[in-house]
Structure 1
Amino acid sequence: MRTTAFALAALAAVASASSDVADLTKDSFPAFVQGDSPSLVEFFAPWCGHCKALAPHYEEAATILKKDKINIAKVDCTVETELCSSQGVNGYPTLKVFRKGVASDYSGTRKTDGIVSYMKKQALPAVSEVTAANHDEFKTADKVVLVAYADASDSKTQKTFKEFADVYRDDYLFGLSTDAAAIAAAGVTPPAVVMYKSFDEGRNELEGDITDDSLFLFAKEHSVPLLDEISPDNFATYAEAGLPLAYIFIPSTDAKRDEVVKAVEPVAREHKGKINFVWIDANKISQFADHAKSLNLQEPTWPAFAIQNIQEMTKYPLDQSKPVDHDTVAAFVKDFVAGNIKASIKSQKAPAQDEPVFVLVADEFDDVVAEDKDLLVEFYAPWCGHCKKLKPTWDTLGERYANVKSKLTVAKFDATENDVPPSAGFRVAGFPTIKFKAAGSSEWISYEGDRSLDSLVEFLEANATNDINEPDSVEAELDGETEVKSGRHDEL
């Protein structure tokens, strides 16, 4: 038994020694992160599922980056609790980039190529010098590479490009060339910026006056593939692009997937720079079924198509009885661009109001908000444990203010069955979310207090415009007095 244990320990030691990911402790950590070259450190827990999924990509990236002298390490936070606490780690995995001991959050993807690309950018200056000698190698050094070609005397273009690179160094690889031979090899007339990329047409050019705005628009339009698969790894790229996003939902195993995607490509090309197009694997039910539903694609019928305007929080699903082909999608997108399609807003039917709390639905949202009343709304999910716990308190709150319904509405909104209309100006990211809007105001205030009745009452009385302690009518007040008098009579 002892022999077996010894053998396993020896094997573990060999495996650890063969890894290009360094295991750090509180003693070895300070020296590791003090170097001039950037280093990447993962703070993890052995039981963490996301950490386990990251592990093979992290190991592979460490091996690739080793030749560039970029160090990769990890810290087991179940062992090095004090170290992880000192680094502000509150979730796993947490990845941080260190340069001369100073930490910054890692914002790349958790795939091998994403880690490699991100850390290579960190190791380089914001803008690398490009000459005829390294031109061919540099322009293929990453998925997207931006190279500015300028005359040596053109300080204006060089300054603008360098300032842009300082801001977006995490997003792209930047190079600058004043070498006549390199400029000739690029086939451009300076000043010019060329985007070299490993997809679509492979190259785009920006010529003429180079400004911060022209660089931003150029990069935004051409750095995203014409029609790529979207996943959690690249969703942020599309979300931050500021363009509407058109989705083709289709299983990756569908024999006609390539055919459907190819059919839509001309539509994507026609609207390039105005709408980004992607396809999404509808096979990954656990990962993407809810996203289809969030775009109001209710039936699991694939392929399906929808457009989402992330900035405006609007969605436009194509009728799922229609085919996802070139002509149908082209007509739908044309109508969308022309503003001829109304945003889809999911709503329950307005119920009979027989509860102490007003049941708010999406179809009535704008009308209720427009009323000259103070408004307190709980956005909830039926399955949410915290919402279930809050319900008796919320009902009591509604009962407390039942005699001032002309001045105050206490409401609840099932955010799983209703969309928050874009007019609200906010998104619901968790449950329960409690929002207040004072009468005569268009501003929503988030309630951040505890969920006790006293705290909610205190909040309303501090923020309500109307006098919510004065009953709606004399009759209501008299009714209350009659009940009191009746009570006294009964006691006699």
Structure 2
Amino acid sequence: MLRGATIVFAFHALITIAGAWEHLSESEFRAKLDEGDGAIVVAYSCKKSEHLETEWSLAAPEAQLPFVSIDCDADPGICAAYGVGSISTVRLLKQGEAKATYNGPRRASAILSWASRVQRPIVSEVSSADLEEFKKADETVFLAYLNADDEASKSAFAGVAGRYHEEFSFGIITDVNALAAEGVTAPAVKCYKPLDGDTHEFTNPTDIDALEKFVKEASRPVIAELLPHNHQRLLDRGWSMVYVFANTEAERSKIRKELNKVARNQYESLTMVTVDPLEFPSLAEKLGLDPNDFPAGAVHQLSKDRIYPYPKGRGWTSSELQGWGLDVWQGRIKPWTPPGVTTTYDDLGGRIKATQRVSIRNNIPGVKIRVGGRDEL
């Protein structure tokens, strides 16, 4: 029986870059589990492993747990024992058992946040001394400001936290002096997003359905990173999706910075995401894009199921995207038609009429959102 620590392992197969990963042998793997706390990431597939290695090498020196890897070709038995198949996987092991699986983006800061998050309780008890640090403990933090005897709000908050604790951090503070210093009237839940600098507030935490809606919407970054587990959640908003594909995290990060202004202005009425083509190998073609030519992007108007590929050669700045978006909105650009499909668009030539009006304040009682201004695209 393997004993010992918390470890994040990476399991790899078919690595194409010699020496890019320093894998443990099976005997080293078993010894590592007995040493003490650690972390192990598991990656399987050549290209995904290659891209992960860059971010992994940045994360490992900063990690509070050891980050190590396994080559599934050399030691298939270990990978099989932990259920590692044909997709890239990141697992946290504790006492020889897989305790958490990473589903986030291949980005060093996100991996580090996850490794810390999954070692904390599902809901942390936050003191006034730890309050400011906890607000910045993760890329998305939900903090419930409650009265000490408010068991209904505590129960509802814990229930929702249990469903999302592998994605976000959750804490409760009941210190009356801290609530007074923060200017918060209990009960209230605040969402802190240090990367975007935004704070969202919710004041009806006993309504579990409304609280869960708040968690899903408030956690959405100004520009989200598209992942298998959040794609449907983003589609369910019902607003037009803006997809931007780029091959590397460095490219995607640069584009997120360039497009932050327009994305912030359209935060409520558009859903903008960056996409790693390796995570969604067939999506680019479905959006009328060349799967071998990135960066590239498209808008999917969900209300009418129309797709508008972003012109090749056009720059990735807020002003250029906004100017093109205005042409789309005013009907000056025809939607993309898949090969072999014949259709007409009788309603072009005038402004596209929105078919959905979502007011977060109306649909989720008690929600207040503080973000930048919102101009029409």
- Indicate the TM-score class for this superposition, using the shorter chain for normalisation: 0.5 to 0.7
Q: Compute the displacement of 1:166 (Å).
A: 1.1
Counterpart in the other structure of 1:58 = 56
Whether the aligned pair in 2 keeps the contact of 1:130 and 1:177 (CA below 8 Å) is yes
Distance between the aligned counterparts of 2:54 and 2:289, measured in 1?
Answer: 35
| CA root-mean-square deviation | 4.5
Q: Compute the displacement of 1:248 (Å).
A: 6.6
Whether the aligned pair in 2 keeps the contact of 1:35 and 1:99 (CA below 8 Å) is no
**CA separation of 1:88 and 1:211: change in aligned 2, threshold 3 A:** same
Q: Compute the displacement of 1:197 (Å).
A: 0.9
Structural mapping, 1:45-84, within 5 Å = 48-66=46-64, 70-84=65-79
Counterpart in the other structure of 1:97 = 92
Whether the aligned pair in 1 keeps the contact of 2:306 and 2:336 (CA below 8 Å) is yes
Q: Secondary structure at the match of 1:224?
A: coil
Whether the aligned pair in 2 keeps the contact of 1:305 and 1:324 (CA below 8 Å) is no
**CA separation of 1:316 and 1:154: change in aligned 2, threshold 3 A:** same
Within the alignment, does 1:316 sit opposite 2:316 as a pair? no
**CA separation of 1:22 and 1:344: change in aligned 2, threshold 3 A:** closer
Distance between the aligned counterparts of 2:29 and 2:179, measured in 1?
Answer: 45
Q: Compute the displacement of 1:258 (Å).
A: 9.5
Counterpart in the other structure of 1:135 = 131
Whether the aligned pair in 2 keeps the contact of 1:39 and 1:98 (CA below 8 Å) is yes
Structural mapping, 1:150-165, within 5 Å = 150-165=146-161
Distance between the aligned counterparts of 2:85 and 2:204, measured in 1?
Answer: 48
Distance between the aligned counterparts of 1:142 and 1:327, measured in 2?
Answer: 35
Structural mapping, 1:334-353, within 5 Å = 346-348=338-340
Amino acid corresponding to residue 296 of structure 1 in structure 2: G
**CA separation of 1:264 and 1:27: change in aligned 2, threshold 3 A:** closer
Q: For residues 346-371 of structure 1, what are the alpha-carbon distances to aligned partners after superposition, in whole Å with 9 as ceiling and x for unaligned? A: 2516xxxxxxxxxxxx87xxxxxxxx
Structural mapping, 1:68-467, within 5 Å = 70-91=65-86, 93-103=88-98, 104-227=100-223, 230=225, 234=227, 236-241=229-234, 242-243=236-237, 244-247=239-242, 261=259, 264-265=262-263, 268-269=266-267, 272=268, 275-278=270-273, 291=283, 293-296=285-288, 306-307=299-300, 309=302, 314-317=305-308, 326=322, 329=325, 346-348=338-340
- The structure whose RCO (Cα within 8 Å, separation 6+) is larger is 2
Identical pairs, percent: 24
Q: Compute the displacement of 1:123 (Å).
A: 0.7
Whether the aligned pair in 2 keeps the contact of 1:43 and 1:84 (CA below 8 Å) is no
Query: TM-score normalised to the size of structure 1?
Result: 0.51
Query: TM-score normalised to the size of structure 2?
Result: 0.64
Whether the aligned pair in 2 keeps the contact of 1:23 and 1:73 (CA below 8 Å) is yes
Q: Compute the displacement of 1:58 (Å).
A: 2.1
**CA separation of 1:330 and 1:292: change in aligned 2, threshold 3 A:** same
Structure 2 spans left out of the alignment, 5+ residues: 1-20, 313-318, 344-377
Q: Which structure: greater helix fraction?
A: 1
**CA separation of 1:163 and 1:87: change in aligned 2, threshold 3 A:** same
**CA separation of 1:211 and 1:344: change in aligned 2, threshold 3 A:** farther
Whether the aligned pair in 2 keeps the contact of 1:246 and 1:307 (CA below 8 Å) is yes
Q: Compute the displacement of 1:187 (Å).
A: 1.9
Distance between the aligned counterparts of 2:89 and 2:309, measured in 1?
Answer: 39
Q: Compute the displacement of 1:113 (Å).
A: 0.9
Distance between the aligned counterparts of 1:279 and 1:105, measured in 2?
Answer: 22
**CA separation of 1:292 and 1:43: change in aligned 2, threshold 3 A:** closer
Q: For residues 323-380 of structure 1, what are the alpha-carbon distances to aligned partners after superposition, in whole Å with 9 as ceiling and x for unaligned? A: 9665773685699xxxxx998662516xxxxxxxxxxxx87xxxxxxxxxxxxxxxxx
Structure 1 spans left out of the alignment, 5+ residues: 1-20, 336-340, 350-361, 364-492
Whether the aligned pair in 2 keeps the contact of 1:304 and 1:324 (CA below 8 Å) is no
- For these two proteins, the number of residue pairs brought into alignment is 306
Counterpart in the other structure of 1:457 = none
After TM superposition, the runs of 4+ consecutive aligned structure 1 residues lying more than 6 A away are 250-253, 257-260, 286-290, 318-321, 341-344
Distance between the aligned counterparts of 1:86 and 1:225, measured in 2?
Answer: 36
